[in-house]
Amino acid sequence: MNTKTIDWLNIGLMALSLGLAYVLPFELFLFSYAVLGPLHYLTEIGWLHKRNYFLADEPAARIFLPSIVVLGALLVWSAFGAEWFPNINTLSLSGWGGNIILGSLLLAFVFVFVKSKFQRVGAVAITGLVLVLFQIERPETVVQIEGEVVASTIEWKENPYFLVSGMQVQRENGSVETEYAALFRRGFEGLNPVGYSFVKSGFGLNPPPNCSVANAQDVVISYGKSPEISFTGRLTQFALFIAVFLPTLVHVFLFTGLFMAFGALKSKSKPGWLAVCLLLICGILPFIWFPNLQLGQLSPYTIESYRSSFYEVNRQFLNWFGGLSLADQASADVAVFQSTLGIGLMRFIAFAYTYHYLNWFSKTSLIQWHKMPKKALIAIVLVWLASLLLYGISYKTGLKALFLLSFLHVFLEFPLNFASIKGIAAAVAHPLFKK
């Protein structure tokens, strides 16, 4: 098929994906991710490998591939190490997943944009050192006393205590004393909001080891009254973008759009540009158009499968951008599975993933199934069938088994993403250099 035919086909696939996403948002995503996803990973990784991962030279590709595999293995360990080996949880790397994802992104950036081998080694070394010393997945904690914000701080999640100190207490005789404090113990797991449990309060409390302290000198409370102290704890926007949205929504929607735009620039295809514009419209539509469709009640299997897969992406998105209260599991479930914004978000996710996969499979001239060696094709089919079996056993089992493969395809695609950005920027900037 020629380029224009593929572009028109993609427009049809886009309409199909959006229509199904509106009717069966959760079911469509679960099907696409389990059935189309693994086949996409396998075929795209092979395609990228044949093209040296869009790096300038083959030696760079030989270094880039094992480096990404190591980072992928570390990501698996950070995600499941504490669960698989609880007795050595101090080495689990829990909370370092964001650093590993960011490291893969920066590694691709260095290999694409830094041509000198000497400068490349230095850039990789400096990047690695920064990522080891600075953990991005740290909760941003806002402390309020009697409704007044007294502190906002980013803390290491390993610090188990939080002390609100220096409150002023007005005695019954009118005298004011300071040094009243309240001690809390922090709970933080994965990407969940920070939780606190009260330990003790009174005058003269000293911070225990590994304690974060919020000063509240300007707050005066009446003697004998327990102050109302509340906390809001969550990941910073940067950490949330890197750890949650970059390998998911940004990968399947924004990077797909960039790849399509780069292709339309090179081919000068009008249907290609129409497809890019329609992609943006289809991405916006689920958040602004809410037709009165009678969606069927979600089955317990669907709810449980989604909880074990992308539930955290929805919850974090609704928390940050929707302002929905997700203080407990019940309110989070209502927001994700029942709220208008939650359904709109799910339609977007289902559309983005389904079209991302279908868009890839429509490019038969890229994949070239007919030219693939029989052994490679058989291996791909066998691994794909095994993945279907694992997802059939349970969605959680399939997700864990394919975790490394799914992230490897995201990491290995980073150079292509940067190459697309570079190509678009060069094409747009080119007329400026003629002046």
Window from 54-68, 69-83, 313-327, 420-434 with minimum mean pLDDT: 420-434
Q: What is the pLDDT of residue 435?
A: 43
Instruction: Look up the pTM and report it.
Output: 0.85
Q: Is 230 a residue whose pLDDT tops 70?
A: yes
Q: How far is Cα 258 from Cα 19, in angstroms, rounded to an integer?
A: 23
Q: What is the pLDDT of residue 290?
A: 92
Q: What is the pLDDT of residue 97?
A: 92
pLDDT digits (tens, 9 = 90+) for 251-269: 999 999 999 999 888 888 8
In the chain, the percentage of residues whose pLDDT exceeds 90 is 48
In the chain, the percentage of residues whose pLDDT exceeds 70 is 92
Q: Where are the domains of the chain?
A: 3-135+237-434, 139-235
Segment 156-162 shows an average pLDDT of 73
pLDDT digits (tens, 9 = 90+) for 295-342: 778 999 999 999 999 998 999 899 888 767 666 678 888 899 999 999
pLDDT digits (tens, 9 = 90+) for 425-434: 888 775 543 4
Q: Is 217 a residue whose pLDDT tops 80?
A: no
